[in-house]
């Protein structure tokens, strides 16, 4: 079974298309710096936060988050 990890790369693209940035998310939605840091590291954040972002950007969840195959230490063997 493939291991997956979360990626917020689609959110970065959507932010650019909407002429917004992470500071806007912090200021306008009250998203904490620690949550934004988790997103930068590809860590899990609550679905409530993702929903807020989708509503704010007027987009679908796939425009904010995606699952990508996780790199493993065994990948080069």
Q: What is the pLDDT of residues 14-33, one digit of tens each?
A: 999 999 999 999 999 999 99
How confident is residue 52, by pLDDT bands cut at 50, 70 and 90? very high
Domains and CATH numbers, the chain: 4-69 (1.10.260.40)
Residue 67 near residue 8 (C-beta atoms within 8 A) = no
Task: Return all residues near 38 (Cβ < 8 A) that are at least 6 apart.
Answer: 44, 45
**pTM as predicted:** 0.85
Residue 50 near residue 44 (C-beta atoms within 8 A) = no
Asked if residue 56 has pLDDT above 80, the reply is yes
**Which is nearest to 35 in space by CA: 20, 18, 48, 16?**
48
């Amino acid at each position: 079974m493939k291991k997956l990890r979360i990626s917020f790369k689609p959110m970065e693209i959507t932010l650019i298309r909407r002429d917004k940035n992470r500071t806007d998310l912090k200021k306008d939605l009250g998203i904490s710096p620690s949550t934004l840091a988790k997103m930068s590291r590809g860590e899990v954040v609550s679905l409530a936060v993702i929903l807020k972002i989708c509503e704010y950007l007027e987009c679908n969840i796939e425009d904010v988050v995606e699952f990508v195959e996780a790199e493993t230490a065994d990948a080069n063997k």
